């Protein structure tokens, strides 16, 4: 492992306001997104949609540091035959790859999940590196509900995250370590705080046990937010302060960058929260975005599967990417959204 190079990539992924486009929806997940815009989930449509984003020069060059791809996309070619990975590289962004194989029920833990995909990973990683991937992603999912999460779910998922991270580094690939505490439930922000704290502490313990070099990872956590069905809402400032306090308590300064998931927040909430955290300032790591939905919902809607709408979709993508870039520098203002509308 060349740690200096891993560190360089991890910094490039998270520095100077740039953030990551999470375009790694599995074929099943992108179907849900396409259903919402009445677009058929064909291989060509998936390619056309992703190609339009990767060809959005302004967003890709100025605001996006890297793109997380799904297995299909990393091998796919644009309509003119150019590999999609090349489009990303030509725009100056770094290609990455989702390597987990989704979740399965965790035995003896009703309602809880374990992320799959470790068995063949040592064989798959060198192929992804050869295809151009310089970072990878693995998502663990922790749900909050009656009697959950269990310690079994927290510890097995943290263990798998660290196994994945160590394998990535051995193959000269920066692991995005994503322990996602879901925001689906009725819990309030303080319960989210407690569960996320437990999950992060356990994850960093496992990373230590498994000799993962923190200088060569990117952490992708959830923010401290109330569940969607909670009656207790939290202000932007409260979310920002609680999330920064939590991360300072759990994430060593050796980690170069933290790139949040959006997790079901609205586009503007995800931006406002990131901005408020960066306005607090004086943080030991870069704090940026690695959004899927909060970057893509607007361009998807504008595109709606029609070639005639590509320009509008690209404009929507530029706008969201720029807002999040400003937020990652703590320079976003709400009226920039209204002006654009
Ligand atoms: P969201 O921002 O839509 O949560 O997606 C990010 C991601 O990569 C989830 O694994």
Q: What is the pLDDT of residue 338?
A: 83
Give 262 Cα–ligand 1 centroid separation in angstroms: 6
Q: Are 135 and 218 in contact (CB under 8 A)?
A: yes
Does the C-beta of 139 come closer than 6 Å to ligand 1? yes
Q: What is the DSSP string of 242-290?
A: HHHHHHHHHS-TT--EEEE--TT--HHHHHHHHHHHHHH---SSEEEEE
Which ligand 1 atom sits closest to the C-alpha of 139? Answer: 10
The count of structural domains within the chain is 1
Does the C-beta of 227 come closer than 6 Å to ligand 1? no
Q: Are 183 and 143 in contact (CB under 8 A)?
A: no
Per-residue pLDDT tens digits of the chain, which is 341 residues long: 999 999 999 999 999 999 999 999 999 999 999 999 999 999 999 999 999 999 999 999 999 999 999 999 999 999 999 999 999 999 999 999 999 999 999 999 999 999 999 999 999 999 999 999 999 999 999 999 999 999 999 999 999 999 999 999 999 999 999 999 999 999 999 999 999 999 999 999 999 999 999 999 999 999 999 999 999 999 999 999 999 999 999 999 999 999 999 999 999 999 999 999 999 999 999 999 999 999 999 999 999 999 999 999 999 999 999 999 999 999 999 999 987 66
Specify the CATH number for the domain of residue 111: 3.20.20.70
Does the C-beta of 292 come closer than 6 Å to ligand 1? yes
Report the C-alpha gap between 326 and 339 in whole angstroms.
15
Which ligand 1 atom sits closest to the C-alpha of 260? Answer: 2
Q: What is the pLDDT of residue 126?
A: 98
Instruction: For residue 20, list its beta bridge partners.
Output: 66, 290
What predicted TM-score, i.e. pTM, was given to this entire model? 0.98
Q: Whose CA is nearest to atom 10 of ligand 1?
A: 139
How far is residue 289 from each of residues 12, 13, 221, measured CA to CA in Å? 13, 10, 10
Give 152 Cα–ligand 1 centroid separation in angstroms: 24
Give Rg (Cα) of the chain: 19
Q: What is the pLDDT of residue 339?
A: 72
Selecting among 178, 180, 242, 322, the annotated active-site residue is: 178
| 268 has catalytic annotation | no
Q: Per residue in 186-238, pLDDT tens?
A: 999 999 999 999 999 999 999 999 999 999 999 999 999 999 999 999 999 99
Give 260 Cα–ligand 1 centroid separation in angstroms: 8
Within 10 angstroms of residue 75's Cβ, the number of other Cβ atoms is 12
Structural domain including 11 reads 3-340
């Amino acid at each position: 492992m060349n740690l200096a190079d891993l560190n360089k990539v991890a910094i490039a992924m998270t520095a100077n306001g740039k953030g990551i486009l999470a375009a790694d929806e599995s074929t099943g997940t992108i179907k849900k997104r396409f259903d919402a815009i009445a677009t058929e989930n064909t291989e060509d449509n998936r390619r056309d949609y992703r190609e339009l984003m990767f060809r959005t020069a302004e967003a890709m060059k100025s605001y996006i540091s890297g793109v997380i791809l799904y297995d299909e996309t990393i091998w796919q070619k644009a309509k003119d035959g150019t590999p999609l990975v090349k489009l990303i590289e030509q725009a100056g962004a770094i290609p990455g790859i989702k390597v987990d194989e989704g979740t399965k029920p965790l035995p003896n833990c009703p309602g809880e999940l374990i992320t799959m995909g470790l068995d063949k990973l040592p064989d798959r990683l060198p192929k992804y590196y050869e295809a151009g991937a310089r970072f990878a992603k693995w998502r663990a999912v922790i749900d909050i509900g009656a009697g959950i999460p269990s310690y079994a779910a927290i510890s097995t998922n943290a263990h798998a995250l660290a196994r994945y991270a160590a394998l990535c580094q051995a193959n000269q690939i920066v692991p995005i370590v994503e322990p996602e505490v879901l925001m689906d439930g009725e819990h309030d922000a303080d319960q989210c705080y407690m569960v996320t704290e437990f999950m992060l502490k356990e994850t960093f313990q496992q990373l230590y046990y498994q000799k993962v070099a923190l200088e060569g990872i990117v952490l992708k956590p959830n923010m401290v937010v109330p569940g969607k069905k909670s009656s207790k809402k939290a202000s932007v400032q409260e979310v920002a302060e609680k999330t920064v306090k939590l991360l300072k308590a759990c994430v060593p300064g050796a980690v170069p960058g933290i790139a949040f998931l959006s997790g079901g927040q609205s586009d503007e909430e995800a931006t406002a929260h990131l901005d408020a955290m960066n306005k607090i300032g004086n943080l030991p790591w870069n704090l940026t975005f690695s959004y899927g939905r909060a970057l893509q919902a607007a361009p998807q809607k504008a595109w709606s599967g029609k070639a005639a709408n590509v320009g509008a979709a690209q404009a929507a993508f530029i706008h969201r990417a720029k807002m999040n870039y400003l937020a990652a520098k703590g320079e976003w203002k709400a009226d920039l959204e209204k002006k654009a509308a």
